[in-house]
Each structure stands twice: as C-alpha cells, then as structure tokens.
C-alpha cells in the first residue's frame, strides 16, 4: 500500500514525499481513510507507530488554511506539544498551514499572537483551559484530536479535558489516540465522541519486534557498576536511561559524567528553556546519554536512539512499553535493557505476560569481554582508516631513531592507553542463579505462605559458584560456557 492510495490533496502528498515516508504504518493505513470519511475515531497503537501522521495527514488534507483555527490537538506535555507541532508543520507547510504551540511556563502574549495567525493549535490541557476560561482566546475548530490520551489521564488531566470540551463547538470531528485503552479512556470517549469508529492495531503488530528486550539481574548495590559496564560493552550511539526519581537522575548524571560520558539529565523541575536546549543537544548528537524520569520523557521523539536502559524496572507494564518505545522508531532496530534485583524478577514475569513478549536474560559482560569488544572495534577502525600525508610524515620522522615494528607497537600503545575497563570483573548474577530465582519466585507466587518458600535456601549460596549455562544465550557466540565456575 502507498500513501498515494489515500486521496490526500497534492500539497500534502508532496510533503510526504519530501519527508521520505514511503509506506504507511499499520495505524496510518487503518486510520487515514476513516478520518477522511469524516468519522469520529478511537485509535490504539503503541508509541512510535506514527500516530501523529495518522491524524495529521487526513485532517490537514481537509483543512482550508483560511486564517481561522480549524484544528485543535491536545497533548500531555510541553515536549510533546513541540514535537507534534514540528511534525505537523513539516506536512502542512506546502499547504499554507501554520501551527501554534501552546503550553504552560511561558508568557501568554506571544502564544496568543501565534494563535491569531495559525490554522492548527497544539496545546497542553492546563494552559489551554486557562486561555479558554479567561476568554483570552476563542476558537471553533472543526477537528479536535486528543493525542496520547492515556498519558493525559495518568497525569491527572481528566477534569481539564472535560472542561475544555465545554468551550468547543458541538459540530466537530473528534479523534482520540492512545497507546493503551484503560476503562477511563473508554468512558471519556463515550462522552466526547459521536458514533466513533475503533481502530486497534493487534497485539503482534503493537509490540515492536524490532526492539530486542534484555534484562540483567543484579544486587541493589551493583546497579551503578552494572550500568557503566553495560554502556561500556554496548557502546550505544545514543541512549536514554530511565530512572524513577529526580534525585536519581541528578545522581546518575554526576556519576556518569565523572566516568567520562557525555551525559545530560531531564526532569520536570528544569526550566523550559533548559529542557529545550538539552533535548536539542541530544537530538543533534552533542549528548550521547540522556537520563530521564518517565514524566519528563513522555512522547519524546528522538530518532536514532539505539538503546533504552531501565535503571529500575518501571512499576507498571504501560510505562515499560512507553519507555522502550523510545528506541526502534521509524522502522529502525533498537535494544531495551532492564536492570532488576532478584526481588523484581516477578515484575519481569508480569510485564512479559501483559506485553505479550518474552524478555531475554543475559549475564553482565566481564572486563575481558568489554576489552575484546573494544579490540575488535579498534581493529576494524584501523583497517578501515585511510592513510594520510601527515601520518606518513610522522612515521618517517620516527624512523630516524626507531625501527618500524617498535613504532607500530608504540602507536598501538598510544591508542590503547585510555582503554582500561573499570569496576570489578563479575557483576550481577549468573544464568543458573537467575533461573533458580525465577523458578522460586513463580513457586512463591503460586503457593504464597506454604513451606516451599525456602526449599532452595538463600540465593547467596550460588554467588561464588556461577555457571554460564548455554540456554538463553543469545547475540553472543564465542563466550566460554563455564567461565564463571
Ligand atoms: P507515535 O505518536 O505513535 O508515538 P510518531 O507519530 O511520533 O509516533 O512517529 C514516530 C516516528 O516515526 C517519527 O519520527 C515519524 O516521523 C516516523 N514515521 C511515522 N510514520 C512513518 C512512515 N509511514 N514512514 C516512515 N517514518 C514514519
Ligand atoms: Mg504520538
């Protein structure tokens, strides 16, 4: 199926080509024709599946761009407002469609000025409600979209949303997009939509199979070491580390910066300007590692995130899905890595069940494995490098006093001098140990309170007697099977 099958107007079609989209995503394939027919719609699909274009393309195709506000898009956070606005601008600019972005924490004046000139308003609920109730703006949009509706409800915006709808015209087309469909969303849909069509991308399509999901079991006090080792080993081009609390974000920023990584934190307390600068630096590659809380990262759309780390496993499956959806976007592959303590294994099992995918457990690489990895990368780099005049000159000079083999050794030593891997050799639990713990956790779960709880004794027994059994072994071929005995 192609975008040209949809009957979108020419200027929109041209913008799609310019954006480089070739094939509609499943949610776009299902949603676009229904929106074009004028239906209200409830649409469910996981993050990163192209929901913005799924509503943006058809409504912009139907807009007149006549200087009035024709569309209103309500989103949960400031970051998301900016992102959705950028994406809509990209598709609408050839059609003369201007967007205004409206969120709290910035002066009213400029925003109101923008709204006067725009055809689409993208707004967060709080500020929008302010503007409407105080009479600072009056709008009569034909199209109203609630984007990431589950997030908005999670963040406690239900009242604001209901209030906002009392200011909107009855004659309108309303679309509700959400990654999940809890009951509260269905109820809200009943109140604000008229005979909606439902579009839901089925489970197998919903879970992004391009994301490899791994988890590592560590003791509480090993989390920092494990994180650094895994970053060293995976060498991510761009990654996001999720934390539960703001103070954890601050602590990890300090810790990883001290280890020499290019890190920045993002949390709700930061000033808007600072947040925008930080996000831009991350997008453009000035920062490799982003450390964030759930709230701060809602809907964050940064391309090319290669890895997502969960420093702690999130409390619920939905935030897990949201978090890992920050990677593997736009059809690219990604890796989601979760650190859990033995006590949290049961949460892993629950999330696996809720999400309908299996996570793979692995052992944290040793210093030697990281070193070998780096050596391979270095050899690759050396063999791919082009010889320069300057290099030839340098070797010539050195050759006055030193023989050529010694020169080679010295140069290699220079390159590798910064190469030491920090931390103790073995971090976290071995596979055998993890398997026993899982088995025990599941048993405990089934007969909680029964005498079987203690049948294996304490996990500590296996601490110095680890096996690297060969089941669950993925992505890595040449590791010695019994290296930890
Ligand atoms: P969601 O709202 O479902 O989380 P987005 O609308 O933010 O997803 O889209 C995620 C990313 O995928 C964006 O960078 C977007 O430009 C890109 N994208 C969306 N649809 C397509 C498509 N059909 N082809 C290629 N890239 C796409
Ligand atoms: Mg979205």
pLDDT tens digits, residue range 13-51? 999 999 888 889 889 999 999 999 999 999 998 777 889
Ligand number, closest to the Cα atom of 151: 2
Buried b (16+ CB within 10 A) or exposed e, 325-349: bbbbbeeeebbbbbbbbbebbbbbe
- Taking the CA of residue 45 as reference, the ligand 1 atom at the shortest distance is 3
Residue 60 tokens read as 């912009």
Q: Could you tell me if 147 and 72 are in contact, meaning their C-beta atoms sit under 8 angstroms apart? A: no
Q: What percent of the chain has pLDDT over 70?
A: 88
pLDDT at 319: 83
Q: Name the band, by pLDDT with cuts 50, 70 and 90, for residue 477.
A: very low
Taking a 5 Å cut-off on Cβ, the residues next to ion ligand 2 are 51
pLDDT at 252 over 80: yes
Tokens of 182: 């809890």
Confidence (pLDDT) at 161: 96
Place of tokens 């294994």: 345
Rounded to whole angstroms, how far apart are CA atoms 216 and 325? 19
Between CA 363 and CA 481 the distance in angstroms is 11
Q: Is residue 328 within 6 Å of ligand 1 at its C-beta?
A: no
Is 49 close to ligand 1, i.e. is its CB under 6 Å away?
yes
* CA distances (Å), origin 178, targets 150, 163, 199, 328: 6, 20, 11, 19
Reported confidence tier of residue 447, pLDDT bands at 50, 70, 90 = low
- CA angle, 242 then 294 then 292, to 5°: 45
| Predicted pLDDT of residue 459 | 38
251 has pLDDT over 70: yes
What is the full DSSP assignment across 209-224? TTEEEEEEE--GGGHH
> What are 187-246's pLDDT values in tens digits?
999 999 999 999 988 554 445 668 899 999 999 999 999 999 999 999 999 999 999 888
Pocket test for ligand 1, best of 50, 80, 152, 334 (most atoms within 8 A of CB): 50
Q: How many CB atoms lie within 10 A of CB 135?
A: 8
Indicate the domain borders of the chain.
Answer: 3-200, 367-417
Residue 418: its pLDDT value, please?
67
Token couple for 366: 């040793």
Task: Give CA angle at 423 (421, 426), nearest 5°.
Answer: 105
CATH superfamily of 3-200: P-loop containing nucleotide triphosphate hydrolases (3.40.50.300)
Q: Which residue from 175, 178, 330 has its CB within 8 A of the most atoms of ligand 1, so it is best to mutate?
A: 330
- Starting from the CA of residue 20, give the closest ligand: 1
Grade residue 119 by pLDDT with cuts at 50, 70 and 90. very high
Distance CA 222, CA 466 (A): 17
Ligand 1 contacts CB of residue 303 (under 6 A): yes
| CA 53 to each of CA 30, 33, 58: distance values in angstroms, whole numbers, following the listed order | 12, 13, 8
Give 383-439 pLDDT, tens digit per residue: 999 999 999 999 999 999 999 999 999 998 888 776 678 788 889 898 888 888 888
Residue 208: the pLDDT is: 60
Report the alpha-carbon distance of residue 90 to residue 144 in Å, rounded. 19
- Ligand 1 atom at shortest distance from the alpha carbon of 83: 7
178 pocket-lining for ligand 1 (C-beta < 6 Å): no
pTM for the full model? 0.56
DSSP E strands in 210-296: the ranges are 211-217, 239-243, 263-266, 289-293
The reported pLDDT for the residue numbered 310 is 97
pLDDT of residue 130: 95
- Report DSSP state, residue 191: H
pLDDT of residue 298: 66
User: For the purposes of burial, counting CB atoms within 10 Å of the CB of 380, is it exposed (0-12), middle (13-18) or buried (19 or more)?
Assistant: exposed
pLDDT at 133 over 70: yes
pLDDT digits (tens, 9 = 90+) for 267-324: 777 777 788 888 888 888 888 999 998 877 765 777 789 999 999 998 778 788 888 8
347 vs 441: CA distance, rounded Å: 10
Give the span between the Cα atoms of 464 and 425, in whole angstroms.
Answer: 13
Determine if ligand 1 sits within 6 Å of the CB of residue 208: no
- In this predicted model, what pLDDT tens digit does every residue of 335-377 receive, in sequence order? 999 999 998 898 898 888 888 788 999 999 999 999 898 888 8
């Amino acid at each position: 199926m192609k975008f040209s099958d949809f009957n979108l107007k020419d200027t929109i079609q041209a913008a799609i080509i310019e954006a480089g989209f070739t094939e509609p995503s499943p949610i776009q394939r299902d949603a676009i024709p229904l929106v074009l027919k004028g239906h209200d719609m409830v649409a469910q699909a996981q993050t990163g599946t192209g929901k913005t274009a799924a509503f943006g393309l058809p409504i912009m195709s139907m807009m007149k761009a006549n200087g009035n506000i024709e569309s209103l898009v309500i989103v949960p956070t400031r970051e998301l407002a900016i992102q959705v606005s950028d994406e809509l601008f990209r598709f609408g600019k050839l059609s003369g469609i201007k967007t205004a972005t409206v969120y709290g924490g910035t002066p009213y004046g400029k925003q109101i000025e923008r709204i006067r000139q725009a055809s689409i308003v993208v707004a967060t609920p709080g500020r929008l409600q302010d503007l409407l109730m105080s009479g600072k703006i009056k709008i009569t949009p034909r199209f109203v979209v609630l984007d990431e509706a589950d997030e908005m409800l999670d963040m406690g915006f239900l009242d604001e949303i209901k209030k906002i709808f009392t200011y909107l015209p009855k004659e309108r087309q309303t679309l509700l997009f959400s990654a999940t469909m809890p009951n509260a969303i269905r109820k809200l849909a009943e109140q604000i939509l008229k005979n909606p069509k439902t579009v839901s991308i089925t489970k197998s399509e919903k879970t992004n199979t391009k994301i490899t999901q791994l988890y590592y079991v560590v003791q509480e006090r090993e989390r920092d070491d494990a994180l650094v080792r895994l970053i060293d080993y995976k060498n991510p081009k761009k990654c996001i580390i999720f934390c539960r609390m703001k103070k954890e974000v601050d602590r990890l920023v300090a810790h990883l910066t001290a280890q020499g990584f290019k890190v920045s934190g993002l949390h709700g307390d930061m000033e808007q300007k600072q947040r925008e600068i930080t996000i831009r630096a991350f997008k453009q590659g000035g920062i490799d590692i982003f450390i964030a809380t759930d709230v701060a990262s809602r809907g964050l759309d940064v391309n090319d995130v290669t890895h997502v780390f969960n420093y702690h496993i999130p409390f619920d499956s939905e935030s897990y899905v949201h978090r890992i959806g920050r990677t593997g976007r736009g059809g690219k592959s990604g890796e989601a890595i979760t650190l859990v303590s033995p006590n949290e294994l049961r949460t892993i099992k629950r999330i696996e069940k809720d999400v309908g995918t299996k996570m793979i457990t692995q052992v944290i690489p040793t210093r030697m494995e990281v070193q070998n990895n780096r050596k391979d990368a270095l050899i690759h780099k050396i063999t791919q490098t082009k010889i320069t005049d300057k290099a030839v000159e340098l070797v010539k000079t050195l050759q006055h006093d030193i023989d050529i083999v010694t020169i080679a050794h010295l140069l290699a030593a220079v390159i590798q001098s910064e190469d030491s891997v920090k931390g103790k050799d073995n971090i976290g639990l071995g596979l055998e140990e993890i398997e026993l713990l899982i088995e025990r956790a599941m048993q405990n779960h089934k007969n909680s309170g029964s005498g079987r709880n203690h049948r294996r004794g304490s996990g500590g027994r296996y601490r110095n007697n680890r096996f690297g059994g060969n089941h669950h072994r993925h992505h890595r071929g040449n590791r010695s099977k019994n290296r930890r005995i």
